[in-house]
Chains A and B, each alone.
Chain A
Amino acid sequence: MINEQQPTLPAPASTIGLVGWLRTNLFNTPMNSIATIVMLYLCYLWLTPIFDWVFISADWAGTTRESCTSGGACWVFITQRIDQFMYGFYPADETWRLNVTFFAFVALIAWLIWPNLPKKGLVAAFTLLIFPFIAFVLLSGGYFGLEHVETHKWGGLSLTLVLAVVGIVAALPLGILLALGRRSEMPIVRAMSVAYIEIWRGVPLITVLFMASVMLPLFLPEDMHFDKLLRALIGITMFQTAYMAEVIRGGLQAIPKGQYEAADALGLGYWQKMVMIILPQALKLMIPGVVNTFIALFKDTSLVLIIGLFDLLAIVQAAQNDPKWIGYATEGYVFVAFVFWIFCFGMSRYSQHLEKMLHTGHGSRA
């Protein structure tokens, strides 16, 4: 009787659930307990006024600054100008074109990243090769009865997205080519790739933009005018390509030599080897680096404010100078930071998901 197996007791209440977690992580030693309490108190001291400013005593409804009386954040400033922050100076009747372009792009991307949807290759080709032209016609107009909207009217979040998406989409393929070029055995190709990468990586983006907007026009003939946005886009792409190339080269170097040799042994040519064996493995390894570069680029786009393009940050700054709204700079900056954070955090989460999904072989499984 006595030797009969007793039923397993549940773990002690103090080691499971929230209490257990708290005990093992935050209150496991007297020192930690004190630290936790002090930190909680500091959080309380710091966060309550912020929370109060942002939500509790903030003003949300209204149309003018007279509506902002409570002393908290004046979100009326943002709500009154939200269209301008999103679309810039794009004519109000035409903003549907921005929306269509944006949602079409989101739909295409969603198709590509959603698992198990058919015809991904076709959609990818469409997104990369045909969609840019459709987007350009839609945004800029001038064809098919669409009103022509000059680029100096583009602005706000839509301009930020145009800059970032063009930079990202153009820099990745160009970066792959440059990285392959740098590892090539052909001396001229290699030397040119190295020179390109080192020159562009050696100058700050702000210099590139400044050159593109201030110096370049001086070297061009009198009546030749490059669009300022186009100049900025080319500058950003060339700059970003160099960074992307180095990230990709890192990925290529991580592939064991055996893979190259195995591909050669199979009798594959250079491009077959790269496209079928090396790049699929290498691109997987590069995801953190590539996404990191994307996020950096997305945030760098706000530098265009020094060349007078109204991206999201610049247009919010301009709005702060409206005599009707002087003094609400904090709200503007908080709003900009929030929008940027949403996009960057989204990209970061997606990259983590992608890594997990593609974590199929080789290397150490951490």
Chain B
Amino acid sequence: MFNKKLLTAAAVSAALASSASFAGTLDSVKERGSLQCGVSSGVPGYSVPDDKGTWTGLDVDVCRAIAAAVLGDATKVKYIPLTAKERFTALSSGEIDVLSRTTTWTLTRDSQLGINFAGVNYYDGQGFLVKKDLGVSSVKELDGATICIQSGTTTELNTADYFNANGLAHTPVTFDTNDQAATAFDTGRCDAFTTDLSQAFALRSRMGDPSSVVALPEVISKEPLGPSVKQADDQWFNMVKWSLNAMINAEELGITSENVDDLKANSKNPSIQRLLGGSEGLSKGLGVDDDWAYRIVKQVGNYGESFDRNLGAGSALGIDRGINALWNQGGFLYAPPIR
């Protein structure tokens, strides 16, 4: 109920905002000389401060990419840590320019909160972890199982829905935090543990014996996470959208932060040349110079590099690319071409 009121309040404010005339966000970011980016107050691999206070993570890299494109310097970002409840207000009140905080793209959010989702930077979904020695290879075999869940979340409802729909019995064992639920599963309190897969892998990495825990193949909910901006500022919406697209396209074209200079100077591939600013005037409509995507790749890296550094093999989490691989490598990631 409270949420509904909050939604209404946010929608009203957004409506007011769109009727008022404002200078475009792109111009105000340039004028300010820094990007205000809303991030989480700590989600492993997505946005988290390291021991020197530098923000790192997949969501943080989106902010850095936008700053590199617009301001020419990926470090010119002011990170505003937000809780899940605050995030949409901060965006519609103009406290932040872009929200990059593990936010699921849904109909209600897109249509009622006065915000626009600029794309998807991680396809998440709810999954199940079990111990290998349970000998289970599918959720369908979990009839009558006890399942550790964080209470009061959509996770709990999704699980009940899924089990009911498949005519399976289950006993949920709920905990206040995901952390407790994972610990309980690890110590043998439940047969299975369920949460969003990105979280599940992070939590698995700290279990007693991570290699004895496997994820079941079923993913029972869709959680596309992505950056969002305030509605009714199309120029800025495009900027954010294409910053993310540039990272994905760069990976597809094999451009990395290491070979970008070489490719810019020597590549004969017209797609690469277009992305790296070789075709003059292409980015006029975006409101930035032609080298914007070059700067993103040079300073932040392509999507694959970012994923690997924050979530994948190069990180402590070790998450597989899975459905987050490129479209031509069996995943969902597909960015419209830059031409």
**Stretch of B37-45, B67-75, B221-229, B279-287 contacting A (4+ beta carbons < 8 Å):** B37-45
30 A/B residue pairs, CB under 8 Å, sorted by A: A80-B51, A84-B49, A152-B79, A213-B86, A215-B9, A215-B89, A218-B12, A218-B92, A222-B20, A223-B94, A225-B95, A306-B83, A306-B85, A307-B86, A308-B82, A308-B83, A314-B41, A317-B41, A318-B41, A318-B42, A321-B43, A322-B44, A322-B48, A323-B45, A323-B205, A324-B51, A326-B44, A326-B202, A326-B205, A329-B179
| B317 on interface, CB distance cutoff 8 Å | yes
Residue B172, interface by CB 8 Å:
no
| A interface with B by C-beta (< 8 Å) | 80-81, 84, 88-89, 92, 150, 152-153, 210, 213-215, 217-218, 220, 222-223, 225, 228, 305-308, 310, 314, 317-324, 326-327, 329
Cβ contact within 8 Å between A218 and B89: yes
A88-B53, A89-B49, A89-B53 are known contacts. Are A323 and B44 too (CB-CB below 8 A)? yes
Are B80 and A327 closer than 8 Å at their CB atoms? no
Which residues on A sit within 8 Å (CB–CB) of B81? 152, 308, 310, 318
B227-264: CB near A (< 8 Å → 1, else 0) gives: 00000000000000000000000000000000000000
Q: Is B206 an interface residue (CB 8 A)?
A: yes
The residue of chain A having its C-beta at the shortest distance from the C-beta of B16 within the complex is A222
Instruction: Check if A322 sits within 8 Å of B53, measured CB to CB.
Output: no
- Interface contact B17-A222, CB-CB below 8 Å: yes
Contact B51 A222 (CB under 8 A): no
Chain A positions within 8 Å of B9 at CB level: 215, 218
Other A-B contacts than A222-B22, A223-B94, A323-B44, 12 sampled, CB-CB below 8 A, are A89-B49, A217-B90, A218-B12, A220-B93, A228-B95, A308-B81, A308-B82, A308-B86, A319-B51, A320-B42, A321-B42, A323-B316
* Best-surrounded residue of A210, A215, A217, A308 (most CB of chain B within 10 A): A308
Q: Chain A nearest CB: distance from B221 CB in Å?
A: 22
Are A322 and B51 in contact, CB atoms less than 8 angstroms apart? Answer: yes
Query: A324: which of B12, B43, B316 is its contact (CB, 8 Å)?
Result: B316
Distance in Å: Cβ of B56 to nearest Cβ of chain A = 9
Residues of B within 8 A of A84 (CB): 49, 51-53
What is the interface of chain B, defined by CB distance below 8 A to chain A?
6, 9-10, 12-13, 17, 20, 22, 41-45, 48-53, 78-83, 85-86, 89-90, 92-95, 179, 202-203, 205-206, 315-317
Set of chain A residues within 8 Å of B82, measured between Cβ atoms:
308
Interface centre among B20, B49, B82, B90 (most CB of A within 10 A): B49
Asked if B317 contacts A323 (CB within 8 A), the reply is: yes
Q: Which residues of A contact B90 (CB under 8 A)?
A: 217
Instruction: Give the one of A84, A220, A322 with max B CB within 10 A.
Output: A322
In chain B, what residue has the closest Cβ to A309?
B81
Contact A150 B78 (CB under 8 A): yes
Q: What is the bound-complex CA distance between A189 and B94, given in angstroms?
A: 39
Residue from B42, B53, B95, B206 with most neighbouring chain A CB atoms (10 Å): B53
- Minimum CB–CB distance from A311 to chain B (whole Å) comes to 11
Q: Contact at A152–B80, with CB atoms within 8 Å?
A: yes
Q: Of A88, A213, A308, A324, which contacts B41 at CB under 8 A? A: A308
Hey, which chain B residues are within 8 Å of A215, CB to CB?
9, 89
Shortest CB-to-CB span from B246 to chain A, Å, is 26
Q: Which residue of B lies closest to A215 (CB)?
A: B9
Give the residues in chain B near A314, CB-CB below 8 Å. 41
* Beta-carbon nearest neighbor of B203 in chain A: A326
State whether A321 touches B48 (Cβ < 8 A): yes
Given A84-B51, A220-B93, A317–B42 Cβ distance below 8 Å? yes
Is the Cβ of B42 less than 8 Å from the Cβ of A217? no
State the CA gap A320–B20 with chains docked (Å).
42
A310 to B42, CA, bound (A): 11
Which chain A residue lies CB-closest to B43? A321
Distance between Cα atoms of A80 and B82 in the complex (Å): 25
Residue of B nearest to A324 (CB): B316
Assess the A310–B50 pair: CB atoms within 8 A. Answer: no
* Bound complex: CA A89 to CA B93 (Å): 25
A17 to chain B minimum Cβ distance, whole angstroms, is 49
Partner of A319, one of B45, B49, B205, B315: B49
Q: Are A218 and B13 in contact (CB under 8 A)?
A: yes
Residue from the list B6, B13, B44, B95 in contact with A321, Cβ < 8 A: B44
Least Cβ–Cβ distance between B319 and chain A, in angstroms: 10
Q: What chain B residues lie within 8 Å of A307 (beta carbons)?
A: 83, 86
The residue in B80, B93, B95, B203 that gathers the most chain A C-beta atoms within 10 A of its C-beta is B93
Contact A218:B49 (CB < 8 A) given known A307-B83, A327-B206: no
CB neighbours of A150 from chain B (8 A) = 78
CA distance A217 to B202 in the complex (A): 34
Q: Say yes or no: B95 contacts A217, CB within 8 Å.
A: yes
Cα A127 to Cα B12 with chains together (Å): 45
A150 to B78, CA, bound (A): 10
Residues of chain A within 8 A (CB-CB) of B43 are 321
Complex contacts, B78 vs chain A, CB 8 Å: 150, 152
Q: Please indicate which of the listed interface residues A153, A213, A306, A323 has the most CB atoms of chain B within 10 Å of its own CB.
A: A323
Q: Say whether A326 contacts B206, CB under 8 Å.
A: yes
Q: How far is the CA of A213 from the CA of B205 in the complex (A)?
A: 35
